[in-house]
Amino acid sequence: MTVAPDPFARAEASAATLKKLTGVAHFDTAVVLGSGWLAAADAIGTPEREVPLADLSGFEQPTTAGHTPAVRYIRAGNRQILLFLGRVHMYEGHSPHTVVHGVRTAIAAGCQTIVLTNAAGGINAGYAVGQPVLISDHLNLTGRSPLSGPLPPGYPSRFTDLTEVYSRRLRELARRHDPTLAEGVYAALPGPHYETPAEIRMLRTAGADMVGMSTALEAIAARHLGAEVLGVSLVTNPAAGLTDQPLDHREVLAAAHASAARIGELLSALLPQV
C-alpha cells in the first residue's frame, strides 16, 4: 500500500475536509470505537452529522466486521465531539501511519482529548465478560511505531515520553462517574490470529491484564502530538487457555454489542467534562 510521504500533511488535509463538511471550525474530543461498539455511539448522543470516511482524504475503509466506515459529529454540552465508528488495523495490510490517521486527523481538527476503546480478551482472572476496564498502561508488542520514518519540521520530537500514556486525570474522572471501574495493562499484538495459551501465559507474566490488536499505536501518536488519552477496554472473552471454548470473532462482537450501551452512557456523562 502506498502511503503519502508526509502523513501529517494527510491528516491536516482530512481535518480541513471534515471541518468543511460539518461546518465546525474546531473540535474538542475524539472517540475511536472498537469492534462492535456502535451501540455505544448511539448512547452517547444524537449526531449532528455523519460523514463517510470515503468523503475524507487519506482514510482507508475498515474491512473487519463491527467497524463502520464513518465519523459522527455530536455536541455534548459545549463540547464538539468526533466519534469514529471504526478503525483499521495493521493486520488489514496497513502501515502504522494509516492506522493512526484518524487520531492525527482529530488532533489536526483541534481535539486535545482522545478516547480510545477496544474489545479485548481478558487475561486477569478477576475480569468478567462484558466488563469495561480503564487502560492504565500498555505493552506495544506490534514491533512497530507510528513515529518511525521521516518526521516533517515543526512537529514534536519523535522521542516521545510515554511515562503516562493514559491520563491519570481522565481515569480518575471516569471513576467518579462509575466507582466500580477497574483498570489494567493492555497488551497490543499485531494479530489477526488470536494468541496461543503459551503467549497468554507470557503476557500474564509480563504484567498484562488484557490483550487485543489495536489502540497502542493510536495512543502513541496522540501523545506525540500532545493530546490527553483515555483508554477503555471492553472484556469480550477470556483469553486463550483460560476457557474450554474456542475463540470466535462473532462471539466477541456479540459480547461487545451486549455491553457497549453501558459504556456509551458512561462516555455520555464523561465527555462534556473532558
Active site annotation includes 257: no
Contact 124, 185 (CB under 8 A): no
Q: What is the pLDDT of residue 256?
A: 67
State how far the Cα of 20 lies from the Cα of 48, in Å rounded to an integer. 14
The rounded Cα 239 to chain-centroid distance in angstroms is 20
Strands 113-122 vs 79-84: parallel, antiparallel or unpaired? unpaired
In the chain, domain spans:
7-273
Active site annotation includes 224: no
Q: What is the pLDDT of residue 240?
A: 83
State how far the Cα of 240 lies from the Cα of 257, in Å rounded to an integer. 21
State how far the Cα of 125 lies from the Cα of 143, in Å rounded to an integer. 27
Q: Buried (b) or exposed (e) across 201-220, using 16+ Cβ within 10 A?
A: bebbeeebbbbbbbbbbbbb
State how far the Cα of 83 lies from the Cα of 148, in Å rounded to an integer. 27
Active site annotation includes 78: no
Is the bond preceding residue 132 a cis peptide, omega within 30 degrees? no
Give, in words, the CATH class of 7-273.
Answer: alpha beta
Helix (H) or strand (E) holding 184: strand 182-188
Q: What is the pLDDT of residue 3?
A: 44
**Which entry of 40, 108, 208, 213 is annotated as an active-site residue?**
213
**Which entry of 237, 240, 255, 256 is annotated as an active-site residue?**
237
Active site annotation includes 199: no
Ordered mean pLDDT values, 10 residues apiece, the chain (274 residues)? 72 97 96 82 89 92 84 93 94 95 98 95 94 96 95 93 97 95 97 94 98 97 98 90 73 71 84 87
Q: What are the grid coordinates assigned to 192, written together?
A: 489477526
Question: pTM, whole model, 2 decimals?
Answer: 0.94
**Which entry of 43, 50, 249, 265 is annotated as an active-site residue?**
249
**Which entry of 124, 214, 233, 259 is annotated as an active-site residue?**
214
Q: What is the pLDDT of residue 2?
A: 43
